[in-house]
Structure 1
């Protein structure tokens, strides 16, 4: 006979709500610990050779932003950035943990599926200062898009790209997210759907728009748009899409900026022309594996840059004159031989000129750092 778990053990098992799960879970389940010293690591920035250098930690115990003390953020990943249209950069992160509020649960807990940090720092050569964060209580970044936190139903909800439409205090913020049913083998996971969350108060509060849901159903075309990357260009929001996991091709859609939440207004690039309404028409524009894609225009090169993690787990970039195609051969920015645990590369929207700044995550300490590469 198995006895019922104690109240403390039940709390460690998690549940629904913004921070009900106090165990380390989500994309980090059974994986890294955000306290590097417990992983046999000193938590220092990697020493890179070549044109890319590590500038500063953004989150974690070694970050000058003191994200643990200010926001209860001990570990997190991704760091998807966009200009909010009003002088700030908003950065959305994935599964986030702090210190456990219950000693029976161990040292790490306080799981949130996602959080948001804000920055007005335009001088990135010495790092990226974090100014504030939406909070549900003092010193605690809140989960901005809720998840059920139930394995086999909805394990977590992860932002994949963000953008603003409009300018000034009236700008509207949009996050494209994926609802993860369950995590699988490394680099593989199963999504329920993707969708769009909307904020009219600079990311403080978000509502999920149910009319933007793209169920992950094979044969509909929506299965190829479970993760995304937004780019504003010529009055359109161009929305790249990849399947769930890290092994798919990248496809392309677009929609007038004001219609971003109206799926019936989207067009899809079929390799020759734009086709209305039908996501099945979208053909690959960047061959896979394309993992956690970030795309933006660079004024120094006069080209668009696509940055992602490739099949060898290296961070690479390609360039093109056009979003619809013509992407050049991948150039390695951070080799997996130098940093085997690196993933997720997201460009800073104010990064122009020859110095290209971007965020990336390492499994060894499950935190986000700022890097710079010279174009």
Structure 2
């Protein structure tokens, strides 16, 4: 069947709307000629796309600028460069800058550790933390000394008039400990006073390891929160050495511990403590006749304390300047033990006294003073400094002293 020819529209073929007529494409218009009508782009709209910025590069730059965890910032920068090369992401400049800044931070950190800058920073941080801690209580920290107007140390009001001063200057008091009170609610004045007497009496020995240190007119005191300061957040008992005569006569620090003693001094005082802990456990009864069994048991404890003191002295490697003094002291200890051992088995009070009197000659004696002098420790026995005090360690003051409840 024959296909009919297309209809004739005056010698022109009708094309579908929007399409050019059959035949070769029209030539572009010449300048000044008729313009071609605007033709809409046949494809769908597609905005121009750019690759994303690498997240590790951004993190590296931030850590590098803040100088925070510089080693982490350097690692992130290297990881970012590797990912950028692999994925074609943006952020190479950020990664390089972050890596460089992080390297600088690592170098500065190493220098700070090597030169002690980090330690100084931490000391400053601890000082600030201590000041913040004491803001609601006593304003002076452990190891520091202070004055108050008129040396008036009674009541709560003096704590708000404290002036921190060097311990080398004359002062009213020195802080030797701070104890946190772990109670959910205010325990009351009486309970806090009892706790302060118990804690401060024991903590003074840890602050003043050398029992021969002359404390002069100092006494143990304390500062505790009252109901008002408790509500403000104060939870600390502050233990103090204060001038008992209120004449601002204290001068120099009583502190003798690991912060200002060398290894040889600490070793000697550890051995010294073995004796004086036993010696300080003397019965309450002053007369042997009133408690002979108790005194005999005490003599046995002193004998064991002397044995431990000698053992610790032998075990340490002493400097040459102290060898002779330590050797002489150990010999004296062994001789003295015989008297204490006999006292511990005495049949009556007279026999006890017969051995007790010569046994006392070693306690706080010349051999101890000579050994101490070689080590740079105090050489004056507390019994010599305080007439009538038979306790070489000054234990009669432990836990005593006035208290200020605030």
TM > 0.5 between the two?
no
Please report the TM-score for the alignment, with normalisation by the length of structure 1: 0.24
Please report the TM-score for the alignment, with normalisation by the length of structure 2: 0.23
Which structure is higher in strand share?
Answer: 1
Greater relative contact order (Cα < 8 A, sep 6+): 1
For the pair shown, the structure with the greater C-alpha radius of gyration is: 2
